[in-house]
Structure 1
Amino acid sequence: MAQYADPGAVEWVESGGGPLIVVPEAVLPFWAGADGEDMDTDYDRACEVDGYVGLLPVGDSAALVLGDEPASTAFLPDHGTFVRWSAANSEHELLAEVPAALDTAVWENEVRWNVPGPVVLFDSAWPGDEADRAEHLRVPLEPGRYAVRAAYAKPGPETWLGLVQLRRLTD
C-alpha cells in the first residue's frame, strides 16, 4: 500500500495497470480476477466498464468498478468518497482540494449499489481470495443501499482528481 505523507494518514491503493475494484467481503471468493478457464475473465469484464464507475455481478452481490484510469485511490470516510489521484504536486495539496472538488464537481448519473457490509478495494486482476496478498484497503461500510456518483474534477491549475462518492440511502 502506498503512503505519501505521514504513515497511517491516508492509505492509497495502486493498480498494475487495469481498473481497481471494490468488492463486498462477503463475496470476495467469487471474484476470480484475471484467473480462470473462461475466455472472458472477471478482470476482462472489469476492463469493459465504460465511464468512471460501473457495477458487476459477483456471487449474490455486486462489485463497484472504478473505471477510466488506474489512478492511485484512497477512501476518505469523512467525505464518503474514493479519491483518485490524477495530478497534484503533493498528497497534502491533493487532499486540501477535495472539499472544493466535491463542491464544484459535475457528477455523472448515479448508480444504486446494495452492499452487504464491509468492502475491499484492490486491483481487479487479483482473485478476491488473494486480495490480502496485494495492495488493498478494507472499507467498513454499513450494510444497505448506496447511491454512487462519480466525477472528474480540476479544483486547481495543478490538481486533477477523480471522485467516487457513496451516500447511504434510507429505505
Structure 2
Amino acid sequence: MDWVESAGGPLLAAPASQLARWEGATDDEGPVETWGDYGRACAVEGYIGLVDIGAGQALVLGDEPATTTYLPDERLFLRWAAADSEAGLVSAARQALHDITWDEEITWDVDGAIVLFDSAWPGATPEPGNHLTIDLAAARYRVSAAYRQDDRNWMILVQLTPVP
C-alpha cells in the first residue's frame, strides 16, 4: 500500500487536469497565509475543505499532517494518526465505516483522476515517490470526514460518495 506524507502542512487532492496550476509554497517568509497556494491550503479549518485550482477545486485534507493512503473499494482516504500496524489500521478503518457518524461534509465536483500530494509542492512537479494518482469517475461527490479511534488505532477517515 502506498502512503503520502506531509512535511507538516495539509495534503491536497487536486484534479489531474488542473495539477500544473498549483504553485505550492511560493514563499517561506512572513505568516503562512502569504505563502501562495500552500498558504490557502493551510487556511482551511477542520478535516476537509476546498480551494480553487485553475478551472476546478482541490480537496484539502487538513487538521493533522497525517500520513494518508486511499482505499479504492471504499473510496476512502485513510489518515494515520496512530496505530501499531498498517494492517490493523486498515482493518479498523473498514470496520469503522459500518457505524460511523460523520463530523463534516462538503460537496466536491471532480472532472476525473486526482492526485494526492503535499500541498507545499508545486503540482507540476509533485514530490517524487510521495504522491498518489487516484482514478475517479467524473462526478459530484459528497465528501464526509470523521475522526475515529479504538484502543490501538487513531485515524481520520474521508470518504467520497457519488451524488446521484
TM surpasses 0.5 = yes
2: CA distance between counterparts of 1:39 and 1:88? 34
Which of residues 120, 128, 133 in structure 2 aligns to 1:133? 128
Which of residues 24, 48, 53 in structure 2 aligns to 1:33? 24
Change (3 A) 1:123 1:56: same
Unpaired runs of at least 5, structure 1 = 1-9
Partner in structure 1 of residue 112 of structure 2: 117
Secondary structure in 1 aligned to 2:39?
helix
**2:155 counterpart of 1:161:** yes
Partner in structure 2 of residue 72 of structure 1: 67
Which of residues 12, 17, 22 in structure 1 aligns to 2:8? 17
How well do the aligned residues superpose, as a CA RMSD in angstroms? 1.7
Query: Normalising to structure 2: TM-score of the pair?
Result: 0.92
Letter in 1 for 2:139: G
In the TM superposition, residue 95 of structure 1 has moved relative to its aligned partner by 1.0
Partner in structure 2 of residue 47 of structure 1: 42
In the TM superposition, residue 141 of structure 1 has moved relative to its aligned partner by 0.4
- Contact 1:20-1:123 within 8 A present in 2 as well: yes
In the TM superposition, residue 105 of structure 1 has moved relative to its aligned partner by 2.7
Q: What percentage of aligned pairs have identical amino acids? A: 47
**2:98 counterpart of 1:103:** yes
1: CA distance between counterparts of 2:106 and 2:163? 12
Change (3 A) 1:44 1:134: farther
Query: Normalising to structure 1: TM-score of the pair?
Result: 0.88
**2:48 counterpart of 1:59:** no
Which of residues 130, 144, 153 in structure 2 aligns to 1:149? 144
User: Alpha-carbon deviations, 1:131-161, whole Å to 9, x = none?
Assistant: 153510000001111110000001x211111
2: CA distance between counterparts of 1:104 and 1:51? 21
In the TM superposition, residue 40 of structure 1 has moved relative to its aligned partner by 4.6
- Contact 1:149-1:164 within 8 A present in 2 as well: yes
Runs of 4+ aligned residues of structure 1 deviating over 6 Å after TM superposition are none
* Segment drifting more, 42-51 vs 124-133: 124-133
In the TM superposition, residue 27 of structure 1 has moved relative to its aligned partner by 0.3
In the TM superposition, residue 100 of structure 1 has moved relative to its aligned partner by 2.0
- Contact 1:21-1:64 within 8 A present in 2 as well: yes
